[in-house]
Amino acid sequence: MIYPHLKPIIHLFSYLIAAITKSIWKVAIHKVSYKINLFIPVLPVPKFELLYQENKLDQEIVTKEEQKDIQPVKKPQESLKGSLINTKEQLLADAKEEGIVQKVYEWAVGLMMKEKERLKSLGVEPIDLEIIDMSLLVEGKKKQINRVIFNSEFDFKKVTNILISQSVPCDLRPGYQYVNVILYATSVSQIPLIFPYVYKTRIRNQYGKNNLKHWVLINKKFEEASHLVNNYETIK
């Protein structure tokens, strides 16, 4: 039984305990929020001048007919014969020169590193991706899908923008072109990714010219992402 004259005192103590508890929670939440903000800086997307082709990449607005054209790519050992043309094997078949693949690879990486230094001077520091394999997946008479496997666990489904440089002829092997490819993905830091890409302009006459609009990017866990570039606009 609570005596009537003690009720005001009990209410006062209850109020004080609730107020103290609320203050402690506010301080704790403020400290946690402060620590989180320290580790997640929000940086603006860098703007830099370069001769790149910017694409309008939006997989959600791809038409149904285009979606039919984008077919899943199987692992190398499961690929259909005659549809997948490996760039290394093509180089060897065309050049018939020992060490040509390594020479072209070193040449391409050298160009990419020069581009990294140029971008760094403009305030942009892209992360370079190591390539395991690159090839063309040919479908029909004209469609060529640029297929690249990376030594990375990055989820390439997060890619939202692709920048492709103007092509450079390969002096080591006529008929081949080189481009720098820069990827932007959904990321807090907005740090771009860069990789070198070498391709043959024409595989066969009936296949037409590679327009670099179809891409399949695969990480080392064989998780693949298909990207269709709807339109290119040259930035000057």
Place of tokens 């992402």: 225
Query: pLDDT band at 14, cuts 50/70/90?
Result: low
Measured distance between the N- and C-terminal CA atoms of the chain, rounded to whole angstroms: 86
Is pLDDT of 4 > 70?
Answer: no
Q: Are 111 and 168 in contact (CB under 8 A)?
A: yes
C-alpha 11/C-alpha 129 separation (Å) is 66
Q: Which residue has the higher pLDDT, 63 or 178?
A: 178
- According to the per-residue pLDDT averaged within each range, which of 13-22, 34-43, 189-198 is highest? 189-198
Torsion of CA 74, 78, 81, 84, to 10 degrees: 30
pLDDT attached to residue 211: 86
Structure confidence by residue, pLDDT tens digits, 79-109: 434 478 888 887 777 767 778 888 999 999 9
Tell me the two tokens of residue 220.
Answer: 């080392």
Q: Which residue has the higher pLDDT, 50 or 107?
A: 107
Structure confidence by residue, pLDDT tens digits, 124-166: 999 999 999 999 888 877 788 999 999 999 999 999 989 999 9
**Burial bucket for residue 55 (CB in 10 Å: 0-12, 13-18, 19+):** buried
Q: Are 56 and 164 in contact (CB under 8 A)?
A: no
Angstrom distances, CA of residue 150 to CA of 117, 143, 175, 219: 22, 23, 24, 5
